[in-house]
Chains A and B, each alone.
Chain A
Amino acid sequence: DVKVTQSSRYLVKRTGEKVFLECVQDMDHENMFWYRQDPGLGLRLIYFSYDVKMKEKGDIPEGYSVSREKKERFSLILESASTNQTSMYLCASSLSSFTNQPQHFGDGTRLSIL
């Protein structure tokens, strides 16, 4: 089974802090994704990556950046955290660029910005 591991289940940070969310997958998947999930809005794509050192903006990239230095690891960075970034963050991976490949998700990080 594919295992996608997010480093923290719960995280509390202060406004203005730089925040790192880490995600690791163990199945040599090419693609990795970061979403945020808010009630009534479903999942919204922040950034995704098709390969090492490669990144593409999703639907809501503002205020975020990402890093993929190794194939198995995809980091989401909040450059200067704000209260409107309080949310559930979900990492996912998929085998390849073919769009018929399902995405596999981690358990999520519930981030609170105070």
Chain B
Amino acid sequence: AQSVTQLDSQVPVFEEAPVELRCNYSSSVSVYLFWYVQYPNQGLQLLLKYLSGSTLVKGINGFEAEFNKSQTSFHLRKPSVHISDTAEYFCAVSEDYGQNFVFGPGTRLSVLP
């Protein structure tokens, strides 16, 4: 069965600085990968997804992620963050021919002025 690790529970960063949120997964089969963002008191919103093809995936709000099969990683990056990016970010994986998503524990990004 698949599992997802997000090594950083909290990431503080100054406004306009770059950020990387790390996600690693374990699975023995092909996977699909997703990043979601959750703003305070809201549900989860899809940021981007990797299904196949190019390993560099661009999403909404200037975020991108790179799928690295050999390292079983799918790290999320943004070159310059804004205050409005303060939120919790969840990585999720689903297996080909599997049943459901598995979500990581989340990373709380705090953008400081």
A45 near B100 (CB under 8 angstroms)? yes
Instruction: Give B56 Cβ to nearest chain A Cβ, in Å.
Output: 18
Interchain CB contact under 8 A, B43 and A43? no
A48 to B94, CA, bound (A): 15
Q: In the complex, are the beta carbons of B105 and A41 less than 8 A apart?
A: yes
Q: Are B103 and A104 in contact (CB under 8 A)?
A: no
B72 within 8 A of A: no
Contact residues in B for A58 (Cβ distance below 8 Å): 100
Contact A4 B32 (CB under 8 A): no
Nearest-neighbour CB distance to chain A for B10, whole angstroms, equals: 11
Q: Which residue of A lies closest to B51 (CB)?
A: A100
B102 to chain A, nearest CB (A): 9
Nearest B residue to A9 via CB reads B41
Is B71's beta carbon under 8 Å from chain A?
Answer: no
| B residues contacting the other copy or chain, number (CB 8 A) | 25
B39-54 vs A: 1/0 string, CB under 8 Å? 0011111100101000
Q: What is the minimal beta-carbon distance from B100 to any residue of chain A, in angstroms?
A: 6
- A90 contacts chain B at the CB level, 8 A cutoff: yes
B85 contacts A by Cβ under 8 Å: no
Q: Which of B1-56 contact A (CB under 8 A)?
A: 9, 32, 34, 36, 41-46, 49, 51
- B36 / chain A contacts, CB cutoff of 8 Å: 105
Top-3 shortest CB links A-B:
A105-B43, A99-B94, A42-B105
13 A-B pairs within 8 Å (CB atoms) are namely A40-B9, A41-B105, A42-B104, A56-B99, A92-B43, A99-B94, A99-B96, A99-B99, A100-B96, A103-B44, A104-B46, A105-B43, A110-B41
- B residues near A, CB below 8 A? 9, 32, 34, 36, 41-46, 49, 51, 90, 94-101, 103-106
Beyond A42-B103, A43-B44, A99-B98, 5 extra complex contacts between A and B, CB < 8 Å = A48-B100, A99-B100, A100-B51, A105-B43, A108-B41
Which A residues are closer than 8 A to B by beta carbons? 4, 9, 33, 40-43, 45, 48, 56, 58, 90, 92, 99-100, 102-108, 110
